Amino acid sequence: MISLIIPCYNEQESLPIFYREVTSVARRMESEYELLFVDDGSKDRTLPILKELAAQDEHVTYFSFSRNFGKEAAMYAGFCNAKGDYIAVMDADMQDPPSLLPQMTAILESGEYDSVATRRTSRTGEPPIRSWFAKRFYRLVNRISDADIVDGARDFRLMRREMAEAIVSMGEYNRFSKGIFGWIGFRTYWMPYDNIERAAGETKWNFWKLFKYAIDGIISFSQAPLSIASWFGMVMTLLSFLFLFLIVIRKAVFGDPVAGWASTICVIVFIGGIQLFCLGIIGQYIAKAYLETKKRPHFIISETNGEDVRKII
C-alpha cells in the first residue's frame, strides 16, 4: 500500500485539480493507496472540500488542525498516521507532479534504493533574487552541517516504511525536513525534473519567511555559528595585545600623550557590536533549546474521518 501525505493550507483552488490527477494516476497503478490530506488550519473552503471528497471516496482521509501549525507539522502528522509500506509527501498545488509516482514506485520495487527524492533542475517562475539567496544558502549549510542538503531538493519523496519510521522518531520541535531527510541517511535516488509553476492559488512563502526558514535550518543542523564568537574573541584578543605593545613602545620612545578620541570610539563601538552579534547568535540557540524543553505538541488534530488517529503528538 502507498500512503500519500498532502499538506494543505488554503488550497481550495488547487485541491480539486490535484485530487483528479492523483486519483487517475493511483488507479492506473496496481497497488492499494490512501490519500492523507492534512488541513493545516485553512481559512478558506479547504476543509469542506476535503469532507466532500472523503464522503465520495474511501481512499481519502483528512486530518484538520486546530490552527495553522506550518507545513513541517502537517508532514509530521501525516508520517505519524500513515499506514502504507511506501509513503510519499506531495504538495497540493501540482508542483509535485503525481505522474512521476509510477516511475518512483518502480525504482523502490527494484530494491536498490530506500527512497526516491525529487530535485528540480530549474527555477523558472521564481524571482532571481530568491534563487540567488537559495543557492548561497545551500552552499553555506552544506559546508557547516553534517546533514547532506541537496540544492533544489523538494519535499516530494517516496520512501520505504523504515525510513518514515526513522523520521517519526526524530521528534524535535524545530523541524527542518530537508535536513532531517539528509541526516537519517538511507540510500536515496535523486530524480531530476523541470520546475513546474503552481496550478492555482498563491504561494504561502514570501522572501522574509523563506529567510527565517533558512536561518532555522542552519541553526537546527549546525553548531558552527556558535563558534563564531570564539573566533572573533581570539582575533580581538591578539589585536589588543598588539595595540598594547605598540602604545607602550610609542610612549617610551616619543613620550606622546594619548591622542585620538575618534579612534577610541571606533574601537569601542566595534567591540560592542561584535559582542551583541555573538550574544544574538547564542540567544537563537537558547530560544530553540527553550522551545524543545517545553515538549509542546507538534500539532493538534481537531477533526478527522480516520480511525485510530494519533491526534496530539
For ligand UDP, the binding residues (CB under 6 A) are 7-9, 11, 40, 68, 70-71, 74, 91-93, 95, 198, 203-205
| Alpha-carbon radius of gyration of the chain | 25
C-alpha separations of 67 from 75, 202, 203, 206 in Å: 15, 19, 19, 20
- What's the closest the beta carbon of residue 245 comes to ligand UDP, in angstroms? 55
CA nearest neighbour of 19 among 79, 63, 68, 59: 59
Cα separation, 65 vs 75, in Å, equals 12
Q: Using CA atoms, how far apart are residues 65 and 154, in angstroms rounded to an integer?
A: 23
Question: How many chain residues are in contact with Mg ion, going by CB under 5 A?
Answer: 3
With binding defined as CB under 5 A, does residue 12 bind Mg ion? no
DSSP single-letter state for residue 98: G
- For the CB of residue 109, give the shortest distance to ligand UDP in the complex, in Å: 27
The least CB distance from residue 156 to Mg ion, in Å, is 10
Which one of ligand UDP, Mg ion, none interacts with residue 40, CB within 5 to 8 A by kind? ligand UDP
- To the nearest 10 degrees (0 to 180), the angle between helices 46-56 and 14-28 is 30
- Min dist. Cβ of residue 91 to Mg ion (A): 5
Smallest distance, Mg ion to C-beta of residue 205, A: 8
* Binder of residue 11, out of ligand UDP, Mg ion, none (CB less than 5 to 8 A by kind): ligand UDP
* Range in contact with Mg ion (rule: CB under 5 A) among 92-100, 114-122, 245-253, 297-305: 92-100
- The binder of 68, among ligand UDP, Mg ion, none, by C-beta within 5 to 8 A per type, is ligand UDP
With contact defined as beta carbons under 8 Å apart, do 107 and 187 qualify?
A: no
Between CA 79 and CA 22 the distance in angstroms is 19
Considering the complex, state which of residue 211 and residue 231 has its C-beta at the smaller distance from ligand UDP. 211
How many C-beta neighbours within 10 Å does residue 121 have? 10
Q: How far is the CB of 184 from Mg ion (least distance, A)?
A: 24
Edge-to-edge strand ranges of the sheet holding 60-65: 188-193, 115-120, 153-160, 86-89, 2-8, 33-39, 60-65, 301-304
9 binds, among Mg ion, ligand UDP, none (CB under 5 to 8 A by kind): ligand UDP
* Binds Mg ion (CB under 5 A): choice among 11, 72, 93, 114: 93
CB 305 within 8 A of CB 294: no
Does 95 bind Mg ion (CB under 5 A)? Our answer is yes
Judged by beta carbon, residue 18 or residue 221, the one nearer ligand UDP is 18
98 binds, among ligand UDP, Mg ion, none (CB under 5 to 8 A by kind): none
User: From its phi and psi, is residue 292 left (phi > 0), alpha (psi between -120 and 50) or beta?
Assistant: alpha
Positions touching Mg ion (CB under 5 A) are 91, 93, 95
